[in-house]
Structures are given as structure tokens and as C-alpha cells.
């Protein structure tokens, strides 16, 4: 009656001025769609764009949604609500929405169904127009504050792996080695040191970043790498500079933690940004460069 297809998640209509979008988190999780739902304040409904494989592109349904104001189309949101017959699902109408004019979407990292490699997906930010269906079942697990960096300390015990792991993704060999290096360093430092991590949700993003180790007493950030190669050191330096921008007070000390002493040139690279290097020695202890009195 109103146009649009029967099976797509995003259906711009050729018969009526509407863009129909359908959200089913239980099915979408297999494609990395873990964002959908209301934010905790119930001000924004987060909706993942279409495209199951590879980086999503601003074409087809994604483009129709992005340009809905220009084309004078209403956005009609439906959410999955039970099964009609077999695998056919019933969808319940939530209401009319419009894209946030300031931040219509963010670009996030998610997995696909066929590959463990992360890809770029669009997460659209929908604002209700008038009345809408309010259900606790439609809450998102993602916090949405795209204009403000959210920073807090979290415990080391939850995840000592350097990279935030996606659900159902096994740690890599490098991540396991990094976790083991962290454990050895914490054991070596002994009693009297309190280490945490810092969780950072940057402006314009929904998923958090996690530092490896944070020493609040010294206001010192550590980035841990499983090897002392140029690639690893360059990545560590970049990550530390990225994290430090969001910390208060500013000018945190930066330290790269490695399983062995890197080359003189890589030490020079670390020192060029005002950072230090802590590395494991052959006797199982740790040394710091440059040496401090």
C-alpha cells in the first residue's frame, strides 16, 4: 500500500513520501549491528546502516535516510516484536523520526558475519517527531554523547588485553602476549602501586577506547606491545598521544611497555614525543629509559 520492499532493513518508498527502516537487534548482532536502540536518556534512537560485508557506503538506503529532509520523506521506524509464522517476524511501529541535524550519524567499527576483520559502519542518530512507542526492550547498550568526551577509570581485572575485543572474538597471539607482559610487570612492581585503565569515549564516537595501564598517583599512561618492532613502537606512540588528549589534568606522563629493549633509533622516536620506555630484561626485572634517579 505504501511502497517499499518486503525484506530489506531500509526501504525508501517510491509510492509514498517515506523511508521505512526496520530494527531487529537479535538478528543484526550476527552482522556486527550491536548499536540499535534508544540511548539511556531516551532522546536518540541509534540505528545501524545497511551493508553486511565490508565498509558501509553512503548509497541506496543509507543515502535515502541521510537525505530524507531534502527529498521531503518521513522516516518510519519499526522494531521486531515476536514471530508471525516460522521465521517471519512481526514488526511494531515505533513512530516517525528525523535525523539529528547536527550529528546525523557517527562512523563506528563492527565485524561482519563472514570475517573477523573489523569494518566501518554508519550509526544513524534518529530523533522522534511527535509521539512514539516507549518500550524498555528497545534500549541500546551503547551510550550516545557524540559531542562530549566521556572519561573514567576502570579496573584492570576486567580486561588486560590491549585491544577492546568484539563479542565472540578470540584474543590474538599478540594480545595474549601483551596480557602476560602486563601481568609480569604488575607482579614486579609489587605492593604499593595501584594501577587501573582509562575508558575513553571520544566525541563523535559510540564505542570506548581503553588504555592498557594507568597509574593515577603518577598520572602516567602505559601502552603495552608484544614486540619491540618499529611498527609496534610507532603504534604505541600514536595511541598514547591519542589517549592523553582526553585526560584531566593535562600533560600525563607517557610510557611504552615492551618485552625487550628496542633499538636506539626507536628509543629516540619514543623520546621525541617526551615519552619513556619501560622494558623487560633477561633476568625478569624491568628497566626504564631514560633512567630516572
Question: CB–CB of 181/280 below 8 Å?
Answer: yes
| Domain 10-138 indexed as CATH 2.30.280.20 | yes
Find where cell 563479542 sits: 167
Name the least confident of 103-112, 161-170, 273-282.
Answer: 161-170
Largest CA distance in the chain: 78
| pLDDT tens, residue by residue, 190-221 | 877 789 999 888 876 666 788 999 999 899 99
Whether the per-residue pLDDT at 122 is higher than 90: the answer is: yes
Q: Where are the domains of the chain?
A: 10-138, 150-289
Question: CB–CB of 43/140 below 8 Å?
Answer: no
Whether the per-residue pLDDT at 157 is higher than 90: the answer is: no
| pLDDT tens, residue by residue, 21-64 | 999 877 766 666 678 998 877 789 999 999 888 899 999 999 99
Q: Look over the chain and give the mean of its residue pLDDT values, rounded to a whole number.
A: 85
Look at 106 and 68; give whichever has higher pLDDT.
Answer: 68
What's the pLDDT at 159?
44
Q: Where are the alpha helices (DSSP H) in 115-248?
A: 173-189, 230-244
Whether the per-residue pLDDT at 169 is higher than 50: the answer is: no
Say if residue 154 is preceded by a cis peptide, omega within 30 of 0. no
The CA distance from 209 to 221, in Å, is 13
| Positions of E strands within 133-194 | 150-154
| pLDDT tens, residue by residue, 233-291 | 999 999 999 999 999 888 999 999 999 999 999 999 999 999 999 999 999 999 999 98
What's the pLDDT at 144?
55
The CA distance from 233 to 256, in Å, is 8
Q: What percentage of residues in the chain have a pLDDT greater than 90?
A: 54
Over residues 126-141, mean pLDDT: 87
The cell numbers describing 280, all together, are 623487560
The cell numbers describing 180, all together, are 602476560
What's the pLDDT at 6?
73
Cα four-point dihedral sign 216, 219, 224, 228: negative
What's the pLDDT at 109?
83
The cell numbers describing 290, all together, are 631514560
Amino acid at each position: 500500500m505504501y511502497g517499499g520492499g518486503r525484506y530489506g532493513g531500509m526501504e525508501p518508498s517510491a509510492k509514498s513520501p517515506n523511508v521505512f527502516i526496520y530494527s531487529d537487534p537479535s538478528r543484526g548482532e550476527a552482522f556486527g549491528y550491536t548499536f540499535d536502540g534508544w540511548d539511556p536518556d531516551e532522546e536518540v534512537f541509534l540505528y545501524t546502516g545497511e551493508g553486511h560485508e565490508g565498509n558501509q557506503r553512503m548509497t541506496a538506503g543509507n543515502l535515502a535516510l541521510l537525505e530524507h529532509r531534502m527529498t521531503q520523506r518521513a522516516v518510519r521506524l519499526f522494531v521486531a516484536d515476536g514471530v508471525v509464522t516460522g521465521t517471519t517476524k512481526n514488526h511494531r511501529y515505533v513512530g516517525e523520526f528525523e535525523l539529528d541535524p547536527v550529528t546525523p550519524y557517527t562512523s563506528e567499527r563492527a565485524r561482519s558475519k563472514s570475517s573477523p576483520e573489523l569494518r566501518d559502519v554508519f550509526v544513524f542518530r534518529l530523533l522522534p517527531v511527535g509521539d512514539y512507542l516507549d518500550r524498555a526492550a528497545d534500549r541500546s547498550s551503547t551510550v550516545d554523547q557524540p559531542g562530549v568526551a566521556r572519561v573514567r577509570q576502570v579496573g584492570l581485572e576486567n580486561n588486560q588485553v590491549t585491544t577492546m575485543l568484539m563479542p565472540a572474538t578470540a584474543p590474538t597471539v599478540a594480545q595474549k602476549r601483551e596480557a602476560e607482559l602486563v601481568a609480569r610487570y604488575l607482579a614486579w612492581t609489587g605492593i604499593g602501586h595501584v594501577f587501573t585503565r582509562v575508558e575513553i569515549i571520544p566525541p563523535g564516537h559510540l564505542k570506548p577506547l581503553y588504555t592498557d595501564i594507568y597509574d593515577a598517583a603518577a598520572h602516567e599512561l602505559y601502552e603495552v606491545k608484544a614486540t619491540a618492532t618499529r611498527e609496534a613502537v610507532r603504534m604505541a606512540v600514536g595511541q598514547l598521544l591519542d589517549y592523553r588528549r582526553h585526560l584531566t589534568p593535562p600533560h600525563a606522563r607517557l610510557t611504552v611497555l615492551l618485552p625487550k629493549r628496542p633499538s636506539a633509533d626507536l628509543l629516540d622516536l619514543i623520546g621525541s614525543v617526551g615519552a619513556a620506555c619501560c622494558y623487560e630484561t633477561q633476568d625478569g626485572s624491568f628497566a626504564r629509559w631514560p633512567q630516572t634517579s
